[in-house]
Amino acid sequence: MPTRHRIHHYHHHQPARYRIHQTGSTTVTSDARSTNRNPWCGHSGPGSADDKAKGFRERGMRKEKRKEKLEREAPEQAEVNSRGCGLSVDNFTSRLCVPAMSSPEISSLSWGHMKVEGCSSSYKDCKVWPGGSRAWDWRETGTNHHPGVQPADLEEVLQKGVDLLVIGRGMNEALQVPSTTLDFVKQSGVDVRVLQTEKAVAEYNKLVGQGAKVGGVFHSTC
């Protein structure tokens, strides 16, 4: 019996259309599309719709398990992930040794622009707290320079468990902070400091460096 040899000739930049079989001195060329084998690696070709659906379900289950693990181990961080900038579920679970609940530093400030550590986007006005940040959108509460900062502007940050709150009134201190708002913060058991925004950012970053559980709201224009 002559030895049977099977040789595949393919170029990685050409369509995988033909398969060449060599049996003895006879060469047979067949259309690779007529089989369900992948000519590049010898494995089965693209899976059925059922196989793909199963793969999607398995990935979804793995993602859900990671989310549940995060909610058990750091419920506050899981809440951060649902809004604003914060560590994602995947990043957090792969870096459990990192103290994710520390307050992020404000890395840069200029007129109309603020950058917060850990967030790729910039803000005009922003809220920061241990574990995350987001834009401070005055339209959500109907806030304006007068009468100024309302308790509703601060509730979200206070609910993050901060011990200190820094309020930046703007570059020219045009944003007012009524006494009723300050009383609201103090009644929550939180110390509050109200400063011109450049000074407020410097104070906030100093507190972050000291490891304080500090939050803040900052206005970056007038």
User: pLDDT for 130-160, tens place per residue?
Assistant: 999 999 999 999 999 999 999 999 999 999 9
Q: What does the mean pLDDT of the chain come to?
A: 75
Q: Is the pLDDT higher at 120 or at 214?
A: 214
- Express each pLDDT in 86-95 by its tens digit: 543 334 333 3
Task: Read off the pLDDT of each residue in 59-83 and give the average, rounded to a whole number.
Answer: 58
Q: Which pLDDT value is given to residue 53? A: 58
Give the pLDDT band (50/70/90) at residue 59: low
Three-class HEC string of the chain: CCCEECCCCCCCCCCCCEEEEEECCEEEEEEHHHCCECCCCCCECCCCHHHHHHHHHHHHHHHHHHHHHHHHHCHHHHHHHCCCEECCHHHHHHCCCCCCCCCCCEEEEECCEEEECCCCCEECEEEEECCEEEECCHHHCCCCCCCCCCHHHHHHHHCCCCCEEEEECCCCCCCCCCHHHHHHHHHCCCEEEEECHHHHHHHHHHHHHCCCCEEEEEECCC
Kind of pairing, strands 18-23 and 122-123? unpaired
pTM for the model stands at 0.58
Encoded amino acid at 174, one letter:
A
Q: Which pLDDT value is given to residue 101? A: 81
Task: Read off the pLDDT of each residue in 97-123 and give the average, rounded to a whole number.
Answer: 87
Question: Are residues 109 and 170 in contact, defined by beta-carbon separation less than 8 angstroms?
Answer: no
Task: Give the lowest-confidence range in 53-57, 110-114, 116-120.
Answer: 53-57
- Express each pLDDT in 37-57 by its tens digit: 433 333 344 455 566 556 656
The yes-or-no verdict on residue 13 having pLDDT over 60 is no
Encoded amino acid at 49, one letter:
A
Q: Which of 19-23, 98-102, 151-155 has the highest mean pLDDT?
A: 151-155
Distances in whole angstroms, Cα of residue 70 to Cα of each of 39, 45, 63, 208: 43, 37, 11, 24
